[in-house]
A and B are shown apart, each in its own frame.
Chain A
Amino acid sequence: MIDERDAVIEAVRGRLRASVADQADPRAVARILSAAFAAPAPSRWRRWLDAWHLPVMSRVGAAVVAVIALAAGFVARGVLPNRAPVDPMAVTGEFPIPVTPASDPRSGAVATQFVFEAPAAQSVALVGDFNGWVPTAAPLVRLRSGVWTVTVPLMPGRHVYAFLVDGARLEADPRAAAVVDADYGRPSSVVMVPGR
């Protein structure tokens, strides 16, 4: 065992360990969850390539894979039918990591993140005209900070929604422009989803 610690290394270690806050930024966590839940699962090929740890593959290894892929591409070109154009956002990069949540290029839906602060709540669900106000359609995930979040695909346009707290109480979104539903008088909010 090589013992490399001394006063200098201990000091360096202490400074580096203390350089980041010990609590996660709820906004960062919500952003990560949105990206994880909204991003499509990788294809079987992607999983296979991940297993080979392509990012650290040697140049020779990468060249071999590239040659094989090129050859396979030429073969497939003559065999496979043409596919419909795909939204570039869905295919660029190794993963479609969105800063704002990813969209579904086929349906035109835009993944939209909802955030609601309710530290004392036991459950929060997103209900709205896009899911028939069904309480089980879009449950929010609770962060330790008491912030709840969910990301759902919405078609461009105007949507009315509310948060169902503890399965019993409807609350409007304080981050959105609140409106009162004319038919039922329940508190609700409006989100405008832009077309792409």
Chain B
Amino acid sequence: MSSSPPSSPIDPSLPLRAKGGDRQAFAQLVELCYPRSLRFALHMVGNREDAEEAVQDTFVRVYHHLGRFRDDGRFEPWLFRILANRCRTVLAKRRRHAEVIQYGDVPDHGAPTMVEGPDWMEEIHKVLATLPVEQREAFLLHHVEELAYEEIAAVTGVKLSALRMRVKRACDLLRVRLAEVRRDDR
């Protein structure tokens, strides 16, 4: 298992240089932010193909909208705001697709495509997938991507108090459902 992607290695001048048309700077931004972006997208949408598409789509949007990036802003919350929207779009498309499939064959999901390693990882992913999207998003942004609540509020447009409640509920559900899964396994 590899070590986790670094939390915030972004040189503040990098997005500004990219905004000024420096393609090299944009390439560095993509390289630096790709691991965290892919991680967030994987845990949000649950499979690699959709996650990679969401991440690519996000960076293309970022590139074409760099002019909107505030010079005094932090790049990562801005990036995650776009990425979170892309992930929601992917999930919405999948829901529509699932509705269609219900009238035909039962889809064969097979083994979860993002699961590797010990069993507990698989359990975590299964339980994570059962959380409401907004709770999963808030939990991942705060606990995994380590964004401050204020930054997540900027990402999601949700008030701080509601955001804290989402994260708390996500944690409560994770505890309860993981305990249930482990109890069933015994």
Contact = CB atoms under 8 A, between A and B. Distances in A.
Interface of A: 1-2, 4-6, 8-9, 11-13, 15-25, 28-29, 31-33, 35-37, 39, 41-42, 47, 50, 53, 55-56, 95, 97, 141-145
Contacts of A20: 2, 4-5, 35-36, 38-39, 42
B55 A4 contact: no
B97 to A, nearest CB: 15
Contacts of B43: 16, 19
24 contacts: A4-B167, A4-B171, A8-B175, A15-B124, A16-B143, A16-B144, A17-B39, A20-B2, A22-B3, A22-B5, A23-B35, A25-B34, A28-B38, A28-B56, A32-B55, A33-B23, A33-B26, A36-B59, A36-B64, A39-B60, A55-B85, A56-B89, A141-B27, A144-B28
A36 B57 contact: no
A21 B85 contact: no
B30 A4 contact: no
A84 B128 CA distance: 49
B4 A18 contact: yes
Given A16-B124, A19-B39, A24-B34, A31 B56 contact: yes
A5 to B, nearest CB: 8
Contacts, number: 139
B50 interface: no
A53 B92 CA distance: 14
Contacts of B86: 55
A142 B42 CA distance: 27
B88 interface: yes
Contacts of A4: 167-168, 171-172
Given A17-B39, A24-B34, A24-B35, 9 more contacts: A17-B4, A18-B3, A20-B4, A20-B42, A22-B5, A24-B30, A32-B55, A55-B88, A141-B24
A142 B31 CA distance: 10
B111 interface: no
Given A8-B178, A21-B2, A23-B35, A13 B144 contact: yes
A18 to B, nearest CB: 5
Contacts of B121: 15, 19
A95 B61 contact: yes
Interface string B32-66: 10111011001100000000110111011111110
B56 A32 contact: yes
Nearest to A53: B85
B60 A32 contact: yes
A42 B136 CA distance: 31
Given A50-B61, A97-B57, A56 B85 contact: yes
B133 to A, nearest CB: 10
Contacts of A5: 143, 171
B143 A9 contact: yes
Given A29-B34, A32-B59, A15 B23 contact: no
A39 B168 CA distance: 41
B185 to A, nearest CB: 15
Contacts of A13: 143-144
